[in-house]
Amino acid sequence: MIKAIIFDMDGVIVDTEYLDFQLQSAYIKSLSSFPEQLTHDDFSHLVGRSGQDLLARIKALTKTHLTFDDIEQGLRRIEQKKYHPAAYLPLFRTDITAILQYAKAQHISLAVASSTQKSYLLDILKNCGIKEAFDLVVSGEDFPKSKPDPAIYQFVLNYFDLFPSQALVVEDSPSGIKAAKSAGIYTIAYEEKRMAVDQSQADTKARDMKEVLDLIKQRNSQE
């Protein structure tokens, strides 16, 4: 039996991963002296990354002389655009409510584990009307290393006092999927075809929230 379902935020609950991809791509091009040499794959490889890892990759990709602090300021401006309610509310995947209802009926705990800043996570969940459904909301800012490090998922398991086999994760980015799998948790990838992201490490894929729910029910009936 599944005892906990853990959701990533960007690209899963709200379809902001692609918006981030677009905003971040434009920002990176503005930093580079040779933006025409940057490819779709270059930008796709940054999807789901955060913290020092993302800053280092942007600096290496653009060969900019800006400091990490300068680059981070630019990324914060992107966050402010992406996490404005006018930007993310139309991107809320409303069919997740059926999953939340199923989980509650089955006495399955619900958590969000995201690299996103905690204040943004709480605002998004509140404005989408689903904050009260979650038993735990965890941000990567609370850990020394962010995804793909498994620490955030290990924390959730410890919080609920569960074995990895008793949980299920819904992720989308390569780093998030790797983090979940490194923690030993069965992982559903919310399928992404607009960006060249590698979701091959996931146990299975779903095209939408309805498919996610079907897969959760199948998994729950097997245990």
**Domains of the chain, residue spans:** 4-14+93-222, 17-87
pLDDT of residue 59: 94
Mean local confidence (pLDDT), 61-77: 94
Instruction: Transcribe 109-170 into DSSP letters.
Output: EEEEEESS-HHHHHHHHHHTT-GGG-SEEEEGGGSSS-TTSTHHHHHHHHHHT--GGGEEEE
pLDDT of residue 89: 96
Contacts of 126 (CB under 8 A, 6+ apart): none
Architecture in CATH for domain 4-14+93-222: 3-Layer(aba) Sandwich (3.40)
Per-chain mean pLDDT for the chain: 95
Residue 198 pLDDT exceeds 70: yes
d(C-alpha 208, C-alpha 98), whole Å:
12
Element (H, E) at 212: helix 209-222
SS3 186: strand
What confidence tens digit (pLDDT) does each residue in 115-174 have?
A: 999 999 999 999 999 999 999 999 999 999 989 999 999 999 999 999 999 999 999 999
d(C-alpha 168, C-alpha 34), whole Å:
43
Mean local confidence (pLDDT), 210-216: 99
pLDDT of residue 222: 85
Contacts of 122 (CB under 8 A, 6+ apart): 131, 137
Distances (CA, A) of 209 to 35, 91, 171: 36, 13, 12
| pLDDT greater at residue 209 or residue 42 | 209
pTM score of the predicted model = 0.89
pLDDT of residue 51: 82
